[in-house]
Structure 1
Amino acid sequence: MKIICVSDNHGNTYYMEELLSIYEEASDEWIHCGDSELLETHPLWQNFKTVEGNMDIADGFKNERVVELEGERFLIVHGHRHGVKRSYKELMSRAKEENCQFAFYGHTHIPKVEEEDGIFFINPGSIAQPRDRQIGTYLVMDLNRNNHQVSFTFFDRDHNEVKELTQSFNLTD
């Protein structure tokens, strides 16, 4: 299964629309981790599953959501309500409560994947306003339970792989 994940576009729709055109046939799910600054009626939400960020003004977004796909459960939050700048403690608690091995978040604008106590904490970075690099990023996650593998491939918004961020993991059931 392939998941495309973005966050923190802060009103810029160009890159998200471009991702849809590039990965339209190749992706099983589209995740957005908040701070879109778009209305809940925007056409992008027909594809992307999103949550409310601290800069969003739309009333229709949830603070968090769980997406189920092919028997896997994925927690999606922005992170400002879960203290992700300090630790993963609150996010880990919510992921475990929701029986999710994968927790997607944004807010920090810094792309990374970390695994702790069997939970993967996944931040695609900001596609529009990166804090730790010149060009924004997004993430392509490939999950293959049959081979017990998950890979997280980061790309800059010009679609060049950011090799120093890309990681693969062996999974245990």
Structure 2
Amino acid sequence: MKLLIVSDSHGNRSALENLKVKYEGMVDAMIHCGDSELKADDPALNGFAVVGGNCDLDSRLPEELVLKIKESTIFIAHGHLLQIKSSLMNISYRAKELGADCVFFGHSHLLGAEMIDGKLFLNPGSILLPRGGNEKTYAIVNKKDSVFNVHFYNDRHEELKQYRRTFE
């Protein structure tokens, strides 16, 4: 399984179009973790599984999604309704309820990936407004058998090798 995860594009259509040109047809899913600030039917979001965030005004965007891809159950939420800036506890409980093994979220604009109780928790950072001294980022997750390989890239598609992680 190969996934593209992006978040917090805040109206930047060109960043999303650029990702589609590079990855469409090369990944099993393209996922947007909210705060696109675009309407649900905006062409820039075509091909993305999208959730709404605190800056999204289109009520057609769901608060959360659950995707089943190959052998994985993927839970996607922006994170603001689950208070991810304070703790991952609420999003972890929700992921457990849903039987998810992958948990993707945004909101904080801070990239990160970790395994908690056998689940991959990943925030791709922000493709427009990064925080914490980071670059504009997105993530690619490869899963083979029970091994996750996580790679973060900047908006020029250069891998940020210092953030590369493998989880078993």
Shorter-chain TM-score category? over 0.9
Task: Give 3-state SS (helix, strand or coil) of 1:164's partner.
Answer: helix
Which residue does the alignment assign to 2:6?
6
Residues 1:160 and 2:158 aligned together: yes
Number of residue equivalences: 168
Structure 1 spans left out of the alignment, 5+ residues: none
TM-score (norm 2): 0.96
Task: Quote the offset at 1:120 in angstroms.
Answer: 1.5
Any conservation in 1 of the 2:110–2:134 contact (CA below 8 Å)?
Answer: no
Cα-Cα RMSD: 1.0
Distance in 2 (CA, whole Å) between partners of 1:140 and 1:96 is: 23
Task: Give 3-state SS (helix, strand or coil) of 1:18's partner.
Answer: helix
Distance in 1 (CA, whole Å) between partners of 2:79 and 2:25 is: 29
TM-score (norm 1): 0.94
Which residue does the alignment assign to 2:106?
106
Any conservation in 1 of the 2:151–2:163 contact (CA below 8 Å)?
Answer: yes
Structure 2 spans left out of the alignment, 5+ residues: none
Distance in 2 (CA, whole Å) between partners of 1:161 and 1:126 is: 15
Distance in 2 (CA, whole Å) between partners of 1:72 and 1:149 is: 12
Distance in 1 (CA, whole Å) between partners of 2:13 and 2:82 is: 26
If each structure's helix is expressed as a fraction of its own residues, which one has the higher value?
A: 2
Distance in 1 (CA, whole Å) between partners of 2:144 and 2:13 is: 30
Task: Quote the offset at 1:134 in angstroms.
Answer: 5.3
Task: Quote the offset at 1:166 in angstroms.
Answer: 1.2
Large movers: runs of 4+ above 3 Å:
none
Q: Which residue identity does 1:165 align to in structure 2?
A: Y
Distance in 1 (CA, whole Å) between partners of 2:156 and 2:89 is: 34
Residues 1:24 and 2:24 aligned together: yes
Q: Which residue identity does 1:20 align to in structure 2?
A: K
Q: Which residue identity does 1:123 align to in structure 2?
A: N
Q: Which residue identity does 2:73 align to in structure 1?
A: R
Residues 1:42 and 2:42 aligned together: yes
